[in-house]
Amino acid sequence: MDGAVFYSSFDNLIEAHFVTTGSSSSIQFGNLTKAEIFGHEEVIEFYPFSNDDLSLRLGYTYVFPRDRTTKQILNFRPRHLFQSRIETKFGNLSLSSDFRYISKYESVDSILIKQVPDGDARVNAYIWDARIAYKMTGLLALPVTIS
From first to last of the 147 residues of the chain, give the pLDDT tens digit.
999 999 999 998 888 777 778 877 788 888 877 999 999 999 999 999 888 899 999 999 999 999 999 999 998 899 999 999 999 999 889 999 999 999 999 988 777 777 778 877 889 999 999 999 998 876 677 788 899
pTM: 0.80
Residue 90 Cα distances to 52, 104, 125, 133, angstroms: 10, 38, 32, 10
Distant-in-sequence, close-in-space partners of 116: CB < 8 Å, separation ≥ 6: none
